[in-house]
């Protein structure tokens, strides 16, 4: 489907046989230092967790823009009853247009789904059909009311830029099982960056080894840009080129034996050769059945693009990738400041079916038990109307969905006030979420450390954030 390099040709490439020593260096990162101290034993080789894990990998389905909890997951009859009235509590706003502080009920219809009776609105019927799989947390809250900061909090724990992201921490803590693919893969809409762009998968002050690798995901195209030669080449041609290249690069390295970077570059050409094969396999969906394609909505142009990312996420996890971050369609489509009634269904239609399809597919392949799926955005939305038709940002309450990875099933945790403005019962902070995620991977969040600015820093920094594992939602 792409071009000329045959599987056999690729295997020849992969067997270039450059020193295992070099590979070892890349994988164990011996020479990589943080500040003045050498961090022992880091690298991408698989590493044992601290205790028995409930999940081996994570799929984070980010919904940038803040999905509206009271229009999707958190029904508020009192809010609908008081539709149009002034709210007694002056809510915290971000943009203009909510000064009137008038309550706005949802324009959508809620009902209970599954044996557990979990609430969903009619906008996400496919997510709803999995009610008995989900663990729904309605009492999430965060520290900042703007997307930029809140997304950085969601991915790094604090609002300042420059800290490592979730996938980086996890790749560092556990390494990865497939040495032919990156440990941390990001699947974004090629048409847009999310808010913050590439910062949402940066390695911060962890070594660059742990940075997320962006895979392209347009249907029918290679998953990594430049995975295949742009021009058709005769078989074996690139292999011979690489042989000469390795020879030249090794002699250059011999002149600078102290430069581990030059060694890593040689190893990268080996990895590139192997990746052309492995990543191609991962993205080759020709063997997927019609039923599977439909499950992800590949047969429908509304869902096909996001569906392709969801399908790739499954294939990556299946291939042993540790952390997959799937991004929503467009820039921040859930940011419905106006026209909830028109805009929310638009994005829900693109996301609902493929998201549910991914969970179903993981389940039917027996992968859900070892994969933690997290679905949600950076904060929630307000109960009061913005400009009569939309909702402004709300850091005080939002809903997240979890599936697999040893979370309770068909279980709802936490509650917001009568209007959905504030999480009031069993509040869960973003930092608690992080601690819980690491816990399910068999990691003690206080023990995954990296020396930074004079101390052993962590993802959760519990002395500041009070991050705690939410035991009640674990099965």
Please report which residue ranges of 290-380 form alpha helices under DSSP H: 290-295, 304-318, 340-364
Closer by beta carbon to another protein, 51 or else 86: 86
Report the nearest approach of another protein to the CB of residue 304 (Å). Answer: 13
Contact yes or no for 400/376 (Cβ under 8 A): yes
- At 393, give phi and psi (nearest 5°): -65, 150
Closer by beta carbon to another protein, 152 or else 433: 152
Q: What is the distance between the alpha carbons of residues 70 and 108, in angstroms, rounded to a whole number?
A: 9
Closer by beta carbon to another protein, 203 or else 399: 203
Closer by beta carbon to another protein, 389 or else 426: 389
3-class secondary-structure state, position 109 = coil
Report the nearest approach of another protein to the CB of residue 284 (Å). Answer: 16
Contact yes or no for 426/414 (Cβ under 8 A): yes
With tokens 């021009």, the residue in question is: 231
Q: What is the distance between the alpha carbons of residues 144 and 196, in angstroms, rounded to a whole number?
A: 15
Closer by beta carbon to another protein, 1 or else 225: 225
Q: Which two tokens stand for residue 297?
A: 């909505």
Q: What is the distance between the alpha carbons of residues 237 and 224, in angstroms, rounded to a whole number?
A: 21
Closer by beta carbon to another protein, 20 or else 35: 35
- Within its chain, how far is the Cα of 472 from the centroid? 23
Report the nearest approach of another protein to the CB of residue 272 (Å). Answer: 4
Report the nearest approach of another protein to the CB of residue 106 (Å). Answer: 21
Report the nearest approach of another protein to the CB of residue 55 (Å). Answer: 26
Contact yes or no for 144/395 (Cβ under 8 A): yes
Contact yes or no for 65/334 (Cβ under 8 A): yes
Closer by beta carbon to another protein, 65 or else 420: 65
* Max Cα distance, the chain (Å): 77
Closer by beta carbon to another protein, 24 or else 444: 24
Closer by beta carbon to another protein, 111 or else 161: 161
DSSP designation for 91: P
Contact yes or no for 312/215 (Cβ under 8 A): yes
3-class secondary-structure state, position 451 = strand
Number of Cβ atoms within 10 Å of the Cβ of 232: 11
Closer by beta carbon to another protein, 291 or else 453: 453
Report the nearest approach of another protein to the CB of residue 255 (Å). Answer: 6
Closer by beta carbon to another protein, 230 or else 291: 230
Closer by beta carbon to another protein, 242 or else 310: 242
Report the nearest approach of another protein to the CB of residue 54 (Å). Answer: 31
Contacts of 155 (CB under 8 A, 6+ apart): 165, 166, 200, 201
Closest by CA position to 358, among listed 420, 405, 417, 314: 314
3-class secondary-structure state, position 415 = strand
Q: Which two tokens stand for residue 99?
A: 């000064």
Report the nearest approach of another protein to the CB of residue 458 (Å). Answer: 18
Orientation angle between helical segments 430-440 and 166-174, nearest 10 degrees:
30
Report the nearest approach of another protein to the CB of residue 291 (Å). Answer: 27
Number of Cβ atoms within 10 Å of the Cβ of 274: 20
Report the nearest approach of another protein to the CB of residue 236 (Å). Answer: 6
Q: What is the distance between the alpha carbons of residues 290 and 309, in angstroms, rounded to a whole number?
A: 17
Report the nearest approach of another protein to the CB of residue 475 (Å). Answer: 38
Residues facing 457 on adjacent strands: 450
Contact yes or no for 269/246 (Cβ under 8 A): yes
Report the nearest approach of another protein to the CB of residue 26 (Å). Answer: 9
């Amino acid at each position: 489907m792409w071009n000329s390099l045959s599987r056999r040709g690729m295997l020849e490439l992969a067997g270039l046989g450059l020193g295992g020593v070099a590979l070892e260096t890349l994988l164990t990162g011996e020479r990589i230092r943080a500040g003045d101290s050498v961090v022992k034993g880091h690298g991408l080789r698989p590493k044992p967790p601290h205790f028995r894990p409930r999940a081996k990998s994570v799929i984070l389905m980010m919904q940038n823009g803040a999905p509206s909890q009271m229009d999707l997951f958190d029904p508020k009859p009192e809010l609908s009853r008081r539709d149009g009235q002034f709210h007694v509590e002056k809510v915290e706003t971000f943009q203009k247009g909510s000064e009137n502080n008038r309550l706005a009920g949802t324009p959508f219809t809620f009902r209970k789904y599954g044996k557990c009776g979990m609430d969903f609105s009619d906008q996400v019927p496919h997510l709803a059909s999995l009610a008995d799989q989900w663990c729904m947390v309605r009492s999430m809250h965060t520290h900042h009311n703007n997307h930029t900061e809140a997304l950085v909090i969601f991915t790094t724990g604090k609002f300042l830029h420059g800290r490592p992201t979730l996938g980086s921490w996890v790749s560092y803590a556990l390494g990865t099982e497939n040495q032919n693919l990156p440990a941390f893969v990001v699947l974004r809409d090629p048409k847009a960056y999310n808010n913050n762009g590439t910062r949402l998968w940066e390695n911060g002050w962890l070594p660059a080894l742990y940075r997320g690798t962006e895979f392209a995901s347009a249907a029918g195209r290679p998953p990594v840009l430049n995975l295949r030669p742009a021009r058709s080449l005769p078989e074996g041609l690139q292999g011979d080129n690489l042989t000469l290249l390795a020879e030249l690069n090794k002699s250059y390295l011999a002149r600078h034996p102290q430069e581990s970077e030059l060694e890593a570059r040689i190893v990268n050409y080996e990895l590139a050769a192997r990746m052309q094969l492995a990543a191609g396999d991962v993205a080759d969906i020709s063997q997927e059945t019609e039923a599977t394609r439909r499950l992800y909505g590949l047969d429908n142009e509304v869902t096909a693009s996001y569906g392709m990312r969801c399908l790739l996420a499954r294939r990556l996890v299946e291939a042993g990738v540790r952390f997959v971050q799937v991004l929503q369609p467009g820039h921040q489509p859930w940011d419905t400041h106006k026209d909830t009634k028109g805009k929310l269904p638009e994005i829900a239609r693109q996301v609902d079916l493929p998201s549910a399809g991914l969970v179903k597919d993981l389940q039917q392949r027996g992968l859900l038990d070892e994969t933690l799926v997290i679905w949600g955005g950076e904060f929630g939305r307000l109960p009061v109307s913005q400009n009569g038709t939309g909702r402004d940002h709300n850091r005080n309450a939002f809903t997240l969905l979890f599936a697999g990875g040893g979370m309770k099933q068909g279980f709802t945790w936490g509650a917001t006030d009568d209007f959905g403005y504030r999480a009031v019962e069993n509040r869960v902070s973003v930092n608690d979420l992080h601690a819980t995620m690491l816990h399910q991977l068999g990691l003690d969040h206080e023990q995954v450390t990296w020396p930074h600015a004079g101390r052993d820093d962590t993802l959760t920094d519990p002395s500041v954030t009070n991050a705690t594992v939410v035991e009640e939602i674990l099965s």
